[in-house]
Structure 1
Amino acid sequence: MAAKLISIIIPLYNEEDNIPLLYKKLKSIVNFMDYDFEIIAVDDGSRDGSFHELKKIEKKDSDFKIIQFTRNFGKEMATTAGIQYCSGDACIIMDSDLQHPPENIPIFLEKWEKGAEVVVGIRNKSRKRPLRNLSSYLYCKIMNMISETKFVQGDTDFRLLDRVVIDEFKKFSEKTRITRGLINWLGFRKEFVHFEVPERANGKVQYGLIKRIRLAFYSTVSMSLFPLRIAGYIGIFITSMSALAAIFIIVERYVLKDPLGLNFSGLSVLGFINMLLVGVILMCLGLIALYIENIHKETLNRPLYVVRYQNKKGSVENSEKK
């Protein structure tokens, strides 16, 4: 009986120093397991020597596959390309900076063999990163309140997907996508593996604070309609309060002849109410603009990414090759 094939998907950007270390670590683990492995490295338009390092590995390892984008399309698209390209009975997605420990791969596979269709790596809380712990906690709380898709605090992109999950994921057509959110939305059976996050091996974080904040905004918009609804709720609330305030001012000043001595100036009251309403309108327009942006991207129907180099025959869906 042929061994099962496991695809290891590694999205990367400017990781030339970490690629040899990660490859060596991976091979030291997978070479002693009763599975066949393919490693798919997706170069997300790196500007350093990452592609050169990948090519050096390609020359000596026939199971090492490379997808190179023409430019930086983002981690979500790089992960998507790897999932669309892989041919394994299951795939494991992991970062290239060794903060997703390869030592956990046997544990992921053990849970998969016992029936899990998705195995999710859960990052243990770090005392060195209280701000990140807090932001992760708040993000999960908010998303679980406003979205039908449930998130677990500390969940990461370090996860295993069964072939049935891979095939269903490939049906998604969203241009703005959060990989883990889409996987959670599919609703397959999950198991969890907790792990300690080691220090980054080399280099600096390529997906930093700004990109994480942007990711949080887009995940809120793509996974929930609540922000669009809350804009309407706030508008109704402010309009109601403004109407009550207007009635109070009219009665207090013009009907009862200012018994409280508030001495409202008509112009000042009007200015206050206008500022309030303008602020609400601008906030609502900002929220609506995010949804319009998503609709705009979908109607353009551009490819998710553009591939410059692909070293193995296969089909990368929703892409174009240059």
Structure 2
Amino acid sequence: MTPELSIVIPCYNEQENVRAICAAVTAEAARHAASHEILLIDNDSTDATRDLMRALCAEDPRIRAIFNNRNYGQMRSPTYGIYQAEGAAVIGMCADFQDPPAMIGALVAQWRAGAQIVLGQRRSERASPLLRVARGLGYAFLRRYGDYPVIPGATGFGLFDREVVDTLAAWNEPEPFFRGMLVESGFRLAIVPFDRPERAAGTSKNDFGALASFALSGLAGSAKSLLRLPIALAFVAGGIALPLLVAAILAVSLGGPGLALLGFAVGFAMFAMILLFLGLIGEQVRMLAERSRNLPLVIEAERVNFPPERARPAARTLIRRP
């Protein structure tokens, strides 16, 4: 029987949290949904997470597991898990309790009131001043140049109607920036603010490299108008270069110093700008190349506790739900 609610929980080295998160989610889902399933998707953990997932599946037939054959990153694996869920509504949340299970009732209530997408929005989060500044600048940049509105504090934690999930799965995005795709889709959207708690146990997998990779993929996938920005910047740079050239000619004629240093500074600034936009263009070209290859989001090594009609799909169909 198709469950009313599916809760998808991506995992990577979450042996301290996986059992506790399943217990908390089960309690909340039992209160707010007629029926539910929990879908754990493991991104090739190296600790005891997979053994614990197998035990949970053996204890509760409503808990299912997908084991990836390698680590596919923080964009592809969680999104694939959402596409494999069967519920009339699907909730995506982290395993470390930073997305509070206690919010499940509020998400379901908004969905039943007519919202097709319900996003949790952080009101506050403990972070270093540098990270807060970088995050603020990133949001401002996307608001100015993104292809659709950006919701600050929305990390992708939320509830998605069956129609939304099926629509986004059909887009066949090779590097799905899911939180951006949700807004881009235009379905009815509601926001539920919350105060994000600290991680329950273990350590965060979001080091600087992972966050930078995630940000670049999201930027390339959600701000295609950036391809036109270098043209505007060329006009601006030209408008600056012309008076500088005039000033340089006058300074040389009058025997003034410092022109060589000024020239080097301007040259390096322009070179950095060119490299930045070439990098963004290269990222988008890479995504086009991936799309043309029709690669799956992940390749499964195994799935556990699924009914026969939801058996592991063939490799070429792994992007979409079976």
SS at match of 1:62: coil
- Residue 304 of structure 1, aligned match among 284, 297, 303: 297
Identical aligned residues as a percent: 24
- How big is the shift at 1:286? 3.0
Q: Structure 2 counterpart of 1:123, which letter?
A: R
Measure the CA separation in 1 of the matches of 2:263 and 2:30.
75
SS at match of 1:32: helix
Q: Structure 1 counterpart of 2:155, which letter?
A: T
Q: Is the 8 A contact 1:79 1:179 kept in 2?
A: no
Alignment correspondent of 2:194: 195
Closer/same/farther in 2, CA of residues 289 and 24 from structure 1, 3 Å limit: same
- How big is the shift at 1:205? 0.4
1:270-289 map, 5 Å = 278-289=271-282
Closer/same/farther in 2, CA of residues 61 and 278 from structure 1, 3 Å limit: closer
- Number of residue pairs aligned between Structure 1 and Structure 2: 313
SS at match of 1:155: coil
Measure the CA separation in 1 of the matches of 2:245 and 2:51.
69
Flag structure 1 segments of 5+ consecutive residues without an equivalent.
none
SS at match of 1:305: coil
Spell out, residue by residue over 1:28-60, the C-alpha distance to the aligned partner (whole angstroms, 9 max, x if none).
222334410011001011111111100001112
Alignment correspondent of 1:7: 6
Q: Is the 8 A contact 1:235 1:280 kept in 2?
A: no
Measure the CA separation in 1 of the matches of 2:233 and 2:198.
44
Flag structure 2 segments of 5+ consecutive residues without an equivalent.
none
Alignment correspondent of 2:283: 290
Measure the CA separation in 1 of the matches of 2:166 and 2:82.
9
Q: Is the 8 A contact 2:172 2:319 kept in 1?
A: no
Q: Structure 1 counterpart of 2:121, which letter?
A: I
Q: Structure 2 counterpart of 1:202, which letter?
A: A
* Pair 1:262-2:261 in alignment: no
Q: Is the 8 A contact 2:14 2:202 kept in 1?
A: yes
* Pair 1:145-2:144 in alignment: yes
* Pair 1:65-2:64 in alignment: yes
Alignment correspondent of 1:108: 107
Measure the CA separation in 2 of the matches of 1:4 and 1:59.
19
- How big is the shift at 1:249? 4.7
Alignment correspondent of 1:220: 219
Spell out, residue by residue over 1:240-296, the C-alpha distance to the aligned partner (whole angstroms, 9 max, x if none).
54355445555776xxxx2x343798x989877766665554444333322222223
Measure the CA separation in 1 of the matches of 2:139 and 2:272.
28
Q: Structure 2 counterpart of 1:82, which letter?
A: G
Alignment correspondent of 2:42: 43
The structure that has the greater radius of gyration is 1
- How big is the shift at 1:25? 1.3
Measure the CA separation in 2 of the matches of 1:131 and 1:282.
24
